[in-house]
């Protein structure tokens, strides 16, 4: 019989208990013992839940108080020098200091960096290494969690981040090569494996997600060296790959001396035959057949034939059945979603349901009758024809798209002339990115409105008053292009999703973004369409209050896609086009209502890049096309802006230029305008607003600093290309800081203008 396993479970808890426990601890309201008790209770609950749902073996050490990469760094003593003193006194404080920084009792410790975990919306803590890093086994977390699970009577498999991925995910602070540290790291891994063996672990899972990336020869060599060194070190080793196909690394993965291989058959179902052909005799295949990255129920008619094929080749005993990757990336339990239409709920599966699906497949493979599979088949058959899933009008509109739809009537130079004539802006025009402070009063009004304590009309009056306040404040500050401030928005994706057909919202569908931070992504369940204008009333209200140009504010199609759970029955490109058309209607309605400038935010464009370089061009082509569809309908004199937050622009600059936005704003203040190099080298022709101060910090910049940044920008940009704006939206800041900073920003722009 095939074993049902999983490589990781969400940590946060179905009521976000871990978040609450962490934040109470950080505020000093509870002690370390209380935090540890909550963490232990969650682990036990999750193991039991996985077991009850049908897992034969549960993962341990997938749990983390903050992040599993940070855990790995601490476990192997890769702790930067600046944290050592604190660590000697209080290891837990040092752990959180590495994650979040630490400012107390005259001590000011900078946190480690954080970055996205592969192409997910989970962020990990980047280990800081240098040529002098000395690794050793400095903790017993995996051992302790193994003991805990066994004490609860469960069969458990410790999960470890593999040594090569660990090094590739780290950064060095001295310019040395992280992979050069491998030989120093392997003895520590060996010690750990030996300890796990002594503790009675039969298997250990070594995650090497780097195996689905383009690997350098050095990285491939590192894999060979690492796994040769770990070959005789203790428990059997399951080498886990996920988030894509092994591709050109399949031969390498098969060559490594391990006892089992986990592969992702959701992202890369087509690799199964090649994997079966390559897998050495006797090795276990852990088949990741249920999507660990998305919320959809799996299709038995797609999954079972795959499993049967695998079983024929290797036998049931060597075939394990699992989700494609850790379930960290999906919410815990669909049963919480009592408000969902039961019809739609039957199309979905969260972590618990996904384990149950694996159980169903194992049982069916073993010859049992599994009624749940037939129920699922029926539900999915209904999904395929459900009217909210498939809309003829939307399909026809996408099918009728022509290349003209994604092009402005004229080139940028011509548009620029008519826009200049219409808008009559000074050189170095000043503006903001859209949002103004979301005050406590605003949040309270929104909460009251949602809870039914504040009627819609009253809530609307609060928002209208806020728009007026924002407009008056901007006039007083002397900004050139104004915004309405986005007081009506809780979140830049949710706000639009709630007004579009095709989106669905969950009650408890939280997933961890980083540390205690969770997001509740909307679910794109059906064809997307816009039943009515979404922002026009707010923008026209704001424009009616001032003679200055008002900038309309929308979230772009790629970002709407990227920050949602996207349907799995239509290519992402197609879903993106549908969203783009809905936004295009909004842009045209804003234009018709007299709004002369529309900003379409695309902060997530870069993060949508596929893991393999070879897949970049196809992605960038449809992502750029979607943006252009949303913007392409307006007349020359309507100015299109986009905002892209912080991104590495060098290798996507061509695509960014192809967006053909009249003005792009980006985050550049912390890099001291260095990011502009990519635009300058490319001779980027349209206008750019490189952020002149960091909105992530409460610090109000000096006017001279802003002037200096503008001077740097003018070294690489022409004066008529340059706009002046903050790095990003202001919603997380307080009014006092915002007014202080913008006053200096405007003064700096005036001073630099006078010298042009
Ligand atoms: N217009 C949005 C704001 O100002 C943009 C936010 C973002 O870039 N993430 O808040
Ligand atoms: Zn931003």
The per-residue pLDDT for range 514-556, each reduced to its tens digit, is: 999 999 999 999 999 999 999 999 999 999 999 999 999 999 9
At 659, list the tokens.
């967006």
Q: Residue 196: CB partners within 8 Å, gap ≥ 6?
A: 142, 143, 146, 158, 204, 234, 235
What residues flank ion ligand 2 with Cβ within 5 A?
Answer: 645, 728
Mean pLDDT confidence for 472-486: 98
Ligand nearest to the CA of 695: 2
Distance, CA of 445 to CA of 427 (rounded, Å): 39
Residue 106 pLDDT exceeds 90? no
Residue 646 CA to ligand 1 center (angstroms) comes to: 11
Annotated binding-site residue numbers: 16-19, 116, 121, 433-435, 486, 517-518, 563, 601, 607, 643, 645, 667, 728
Which run of H or of E encompasses 320? strand 319-323
Tell which atom from ligand 1 comes closest to the C-alpha of 643. 8
Q: Are 78 and 136 contacting, i.e. CB atoms less than 8 angstroms apart?
A: no
Residue 698 pLDDT exceeds 90? no
Residue 139 pLDDT exceeds 90? yes
Nearest CA to ligand 1 atom 1: 434
Nearest CA to ligand 1 atom 10: 729
Distance, CA of 673 to CA of 725 (rounded, Å): 13
Residue 87 CA to ligand 2 center (angstroms) comes to: 35
Percent of the chain with pLDDT over 70: 100
* Active site residues per annotation: 696
Tell which atom from ligand 1 comes closest to the C-alpha of 603. 8
Nearest CA to ligand 1 atom 5: 729
Nearest to 436 by CA among 741, 101, 46: 741
Q: Are 330 and 295 contacting, i.e. CB atoms less than 8 angstroms apart?
A: yes
Q: Residue 367: CB partners within 8 Å, gap ≥ 6?
A: none
At 618, list the tokens.
């196809």
The 8 Å CB, 24+ separation contacts for 272-278 are: 272/306, 272/309, 272/310, 273/309, 274/250, 275/246, 275/250, 276/309, 276/310, 276/313, 276/314, 278/250, 278/251, 278/254
User: What tens digit of pLDDT does each residue of 565-574 get?
Assistant: 999 999 999 9
Ligand nearest to the CA of 555: 1
> What is the gyration radius of the CA atoms in the chain, in angstroms?
27
pLDDT of 696 reads 86
Nearest CA to ligand 1 atom 3: 729
Which residue among 121, 431, 434, 560 has the greatest number of ligand 1 atoms within 8 angstroms of its CB, and so is best to mutate? 434
Tell which atom from ligand 1 comes closest to the C-alpha of 555. 1
Annotated binding-site residue numbers for L-homocysteine: 433-435, 486, 601
Q: Could you write out the DSSP letters of every residue in 477-514?
A: HT-SSB--B-TT-SSTTHHHHTTSEEEE--SS--EEEE
Ligand nearest to the CA of 604: 1
Q: Are 51 and 10 contacting, i.e. CB atoms less than 8 angstroms apart?
A: no
Q: Helix 141-151 to helix 32-53 angle, to the nearest 10 degrees?
A: 60
Tell which atom from ligand 1 comes closest to the C-alpha of 434. 4
Distance, CA of 682 to CA of 749 (rounded, Å): 25
Distance, CA of 26 to CA of 19 (rounded, Å): 11
pLDDT of 422 reads 98
SS3 597: strand
pLDDT of 121 reads 93
pLDDT of 536 reads 98
SS3 350: coil
Give Cα 746 to chain centroid, integer Å.
34
Annotated binding-site residue numbers for L-methionine: 433-435, 486, 601
Mean pLDDT confidence for 412-435: 98
Residue 667 CA to ligand 2 center (angstroms) comes to: 7
pLDDT of 671 reads 83
Annotated binding-site residue numbers for 5-methyltetrahydropteroyltri-L-glutamate: 16-19, 116, 121, 517-518, 563, 607
Ligand nearest to the CA of 438: 1
296, 318, 346, 579 from 341: Cα distances, Å = 15, 40, 9, 23
Residue 609 CA to ligand 2 center (angstroms) comes to: 18
Annotated binding-site residue numbers for Zn(2+): 643, 645, 667, 728
Residue 730 CA to ligand 1 center (angstroms) comes to: 8
Among 78-87, 131-140, 460-469, 642-651, the range scoring the smallest mean pLDDT is 642-651
Mean pLDDT confidence for 435-453: 96
Residue 627 CA to ligand 1 center (angstroms) comes to: 16
Q: Are 14 and 327 contacting, i.e. CB atoms less than 8 angstroms apart?
A: no
Residue 434 CA to ligand 1 center (angstroms) comes to: 6
Nearest CA to ligand 1 atom 6: 729
Block residue for tokens 């994706």: 493
Tell which atom from ligand 1 comes closest to the C-alpha of 432. 4
Nearest CA to ligand 1 atom 4: 729
pLDDT of 56 reads 98
Mean pLDDT confidence for 436-449: 96
Indicate the burial class of 114 (C-beta count within 10 angstroms; 0-12, 13-18, 19 or more): middle
pLDDT of 467 reads 98
Distance, CA of 517 to CA of 16 (rounded, Å): 10
34, 283, 492, 591 from 595: Cα distances, Å = 54, 64, 20, 5
pTM of the model: 0.96
Mean pLDDT confidence for 287-308: 98
Question: Which one-letter DSSP state was computed for residue 3?
Answer: E
Residue 709 CA to ligand 1 center (angstroms) comes to: 22
pLDDT of 233 reads 79
Residue 214 pLDDT exceeds 90? yes
Q: Are 446 and 459 contacting, i.e. CB atoms less than 8 angstroms apart?
A: yes
Give the β-pairing of 236-240 and 203-207. Answer: parallel
Percent of the chain with pLDDT over 90: 97
Ligand nearest to the CA of 496: 1
Tell which atom from ligand 1 comes closest to the C-alpha of 645. 8
Which residue among 542, 555, 642, 643 has the greatest number of ligand 1 atoms within 8 angstroms of its CB, and so is best to mutate? 643
At 683, list the tokens.
């001779």
Mean pLDDT confidence for 641-665: 96
Which run of H or of E encompasses 100? helix 91-100
Nearest CA to ligand 1 atom 9: 603
Nearest to 126 by CA among 67, 77, 84: 67
At 755, list the tokens.
């010298």
Average pLDDT score over the chain: 97
Residues with CB under 6 A from ligand 1: 433-435, 486, 492, 553, 601, 603, 643, 645, 728-729, 731
Q: Which sign does the torsion angle of CA 138, 139, 142, 146 carry? A: positive
């Amino acid at each position: 019989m095939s074993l049902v396993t999983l490589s990781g479970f969400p940590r946060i808890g179905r009521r976000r208990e871990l978040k609450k426990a962490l934040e109470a601890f950080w505020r000093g309201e509870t002690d370390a013992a209380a935090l540890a008790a909550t963490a232990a209770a969650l682990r036990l609950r999750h193991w039991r839940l996985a077991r009850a749902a049908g897992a034969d073996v549960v993962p341990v050490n997938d749990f983390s108080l903050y992040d599993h990469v940070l855990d790995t760094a601490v476990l192997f003593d890769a702790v930067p020098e600046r944290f050592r003193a604190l660590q000697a006194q209080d290891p837990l404080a040092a752990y959180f200091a590495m994650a979040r920084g630490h400012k107390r009792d005259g001590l000011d410790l900078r946190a480690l960096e954080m970055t996205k975990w592969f192409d997910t919306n989970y962020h990990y803590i980047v280990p800081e290494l240098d040529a002098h890093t000395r690794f050793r086994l400095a903790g017993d977390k995996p051992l302790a969690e193994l003991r805990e699970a066994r004490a609860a009577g469960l069969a458990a498999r410790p999960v470890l981040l593999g040594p090569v991925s660990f090094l590739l995910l780290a950064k060095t602070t001295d310019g040395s090569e992280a992979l050069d540290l491998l030989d120093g790291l392997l003895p520590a891994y060996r010690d750990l494996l030996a300890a796990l063996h002594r503790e009675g672990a039969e298997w250990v899972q070594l995650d090497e997600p780097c195996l689905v990336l383009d690997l350098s020869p050095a990285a491939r060599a590192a894999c060979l060296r690492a796994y040769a060194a770990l070959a005789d070190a203790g428990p059997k080793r399951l080498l886990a790959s996920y988030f894509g196909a092994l591709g050109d690394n399949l031969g390498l993965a098969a060559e490594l001396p391990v006892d089992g291989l986990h592969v992702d058959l959701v992202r890369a179902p087509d690799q199964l035959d090649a994997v079966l052909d390559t897998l050495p005799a006797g090795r276990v295949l852990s088949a990741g057949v249920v999507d660990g990255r998305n919320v959809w129920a799996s299709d038995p008619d797609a999954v079972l034939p795959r499993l049967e094929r695998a079983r024929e080749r290797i036998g049931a005993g060597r075939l394990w059945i699992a989700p494609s990757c850790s379930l960290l990336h999906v919410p815990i339990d669909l049963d919480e979603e009592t408000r969902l239409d039961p019809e739609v709920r039957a199309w979905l599966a969260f972590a618990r349901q996904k384990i149950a699906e694996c159980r169903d497949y194992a049982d069916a493979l073993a010859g049992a009758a599994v009624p749940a599979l037939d129920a699922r088949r029926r539900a999915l058959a209904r999904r395929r024809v459900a009217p909210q899933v498939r809309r003829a009008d939307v399909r026809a509109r996408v099918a009728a798209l022509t290349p003209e739809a994604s092009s402005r009537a004229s080139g940028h130079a011509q548009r620029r002339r008519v826009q200049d004539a219409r808008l009559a802006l000074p050189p170095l025009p000043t503006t903001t990115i859209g949002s103004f402070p979301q005050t406590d009063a605003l949040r309270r009004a929104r909460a009251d409105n949602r809870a039914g304590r504040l009627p819609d009309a009253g809530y609307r009056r609060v928002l209208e008053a806020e728009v007026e306040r924002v407009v008056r404040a901007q006039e007083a500050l002397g900004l050139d292009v104004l915004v309405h401030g986005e007081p009506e928005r809780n979140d830049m994706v949710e706000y639009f999703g709630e007004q579009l057909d095709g989106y669905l919202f969950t009650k408890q569908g939280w997933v961890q973004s980083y540390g205690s931070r969770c997001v509740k992504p909307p679910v794109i369940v059906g064809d997307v369409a816009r039943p009515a204008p979404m922002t026009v009333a707010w923008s026209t209200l704001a424009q009616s209050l001032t003679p200055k140009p008002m900038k309309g504010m929308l979230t772009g199609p790629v970002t709407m896609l990227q920050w949602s759970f996207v349907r799995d029955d239509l290519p992402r490109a197609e879903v993106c086009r549908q969203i783009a058309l809905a936004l295009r209607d909004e842009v045209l309605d804003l234009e018709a209502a007299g709004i002369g400038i529309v900003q379409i935010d695309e902060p997530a464009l870069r993060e949508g890049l596929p893991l393999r370089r070879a897949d970049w061009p196809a992605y960038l082509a449809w992502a750029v096309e979607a943006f252009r569809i949303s913007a392409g309908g307006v007349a020359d004199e309507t100015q299109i802006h986009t905002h892209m937050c912080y991104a590495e622009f060098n290798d996507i600059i061509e695509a960014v230029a192809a967006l053909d936005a009249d003005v792009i704003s980006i985050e550049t203040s912390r890099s001291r305008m260095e990011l502009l190099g990519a635009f300058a080298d490319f001779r980027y022709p349209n206008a750019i607003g490189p952020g002149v101060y960091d909105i992530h910090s409460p610090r109000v910049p000096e006017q001279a600093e802003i002037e200096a940044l503008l001077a740097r920008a003018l070294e690489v940009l022409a004066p008529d290309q340059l706009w002046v704006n903050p790095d990003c939206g202001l919603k997380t800041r307080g009014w006092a800081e915002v007014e202080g900073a913008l006053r200096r920003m405007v003064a700096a722009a005036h001073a630099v203008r006078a010298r042009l």
